[in-house]
């Protein structure tokens, strides 16, 4: 069996386990084992990402090829984030994620990929300096948010929408600080912006909530916004030093 086939088979096994985990109560011994695996994923993520420096996470679709204009724009975003002092973090896969990691690599910066095991997608891209692969989406999503001072959201599908609204919900409810959220590519996101205005009219969100997100087509404007509301407002946290006592 090839390594790719072995990986696919393992991913299918992980997916079956997660489906069982989410269908309701299971035998206590089995659930205790699952809790241990989840704890281990969190522990491994915290240890690896503790020293990567202040990050900006770039979200976006895995389905855009290298010749697509969104890919090129994400590549610029990755390079510019690196130039202003951030580690670029993505979901570690192809498409937009690859482009952002690639831009960081080409500009001499550092980039991280938080990959997920799936039966048919996705393999880590070739431009990450460090990759972590997770079984569970919810653990991965915590990592993508926990270490970031800002979020840049490129065009994407339901996974990208999930990540966007997770970040905005945490900011709105004060679970995390008011880190900047940038939506790139107005032609793609304008319908969502219009729907958010309808939500304001309906009273389901406050008008002030619209200020949580910047919609722009300009990489310069995006970087200025992040510098003002992340670097200037919160400052770049100094990287903690590894502890020899903890084997780091």
Residue range 36-69, pLDDT digits in tens: 999 999 999 999 999 898 999 999 999 999 999 9
Residue for token pair 């945490």: 170
Please give the pLDDT value at position 233: 77
| Per-residue tokens: 66 | 């290298």
Rounded average pLDDT over 156-161 = 97
Residues 199-212 pLDDT 10s: 999 999 999 999 99
pLDDT more than 70, % of the chain: 84
Q: In whole numbers, what is the pLDDT of the chain averaged over residues?
A: 89
pLDDT band at 100 (very low <50, low <70, confident <90, very high): very high
In this model, does residue 236 exceed pLDDT 90? no
In this model, does residue 172 exceed pLDDT 60? yes
Please give the pLDDT value at position 30: 86
Strand arrangement of the beta sheet that strand 181-184 belongs to: 130-134, 111-116, 87-90, 55-59, 148-153, 181-184, 213-216
Chain centroid offset of residue 85 CA: 18
Torsional class of 109: left (φ above 0), alpha (ψ -120 to 50), beta (otherwise): beta
In this model, does residue 240 exceed pLDDT 70? no
What pTM, to 2 d.p., does this model score?
0.87
Residue for token pair 């937009």: 96
Please give the pLDDT value at position 120: 65
> What is the β-pairing status of strands 181-184 and 148-153?
parallel
Please give the pLDDT value at position 204: 96
pLDDT band at 231 (very low <50, low <70, confident <90, very high): confident
Rounded average pLDDT over 114-130 = 86
Does CATH number 3.40.50.150 belong to domain 3-234? no
Residue for token pair 């919609």: 215
CA-nearest of 164, 178, 188 to 211 is: 178
């Amino acid at each position: 069996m090839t390594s790719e086939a072995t990986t696919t088979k393992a991913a299918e096994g992980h997916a079956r386990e997660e489906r069982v985990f989410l269908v309701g109560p299971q035998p206590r011994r089995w659930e205790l084992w699952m809790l241990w695996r989840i704890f281990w994923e969190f522990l491994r993520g915290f240890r690896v990402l503790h020293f990567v420096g202040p990050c900006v996470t770039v979200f976006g679709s895995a389905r855009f090829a290298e010749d697509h204009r969104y890919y090129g724009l994400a590549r610029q975003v990755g390079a510019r984030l690196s130039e202003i002092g951030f580690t670029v973090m993505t979901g570690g896969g192809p498409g937009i994620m690859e482009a952002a990691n690639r831009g960081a690599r080409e500009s001499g910066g550092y980039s991280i990929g938080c990959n997920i095991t799936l039966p048919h997608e996705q393999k880590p891209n070739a431009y990450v300096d460090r990759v972590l692969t997770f079984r569970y989406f919810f653990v991965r999503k915590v990592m993508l948010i926990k270490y970031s001072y800002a979020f840049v959201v490129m065009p994407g599908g339901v996974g990208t929408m999930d990540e966007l609204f997770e970040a905005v919900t945490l900011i709105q409810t004060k679970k995390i600080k008011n880190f900047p959220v940038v939506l790139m590519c107005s032609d793609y996101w304008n319908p969502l912006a219009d729907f958010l205005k309808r939500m304001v009219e309906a009273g389901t969100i406050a008008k002030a909530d619209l200020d949580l997100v910047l919609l722009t087509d300009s990489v310069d404007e995006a970087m200025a916004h992040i510098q003002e509301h992340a670097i200037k407002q919160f400052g770049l946290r100094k990287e903690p030093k590894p502890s020899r006592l903890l084997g780091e």
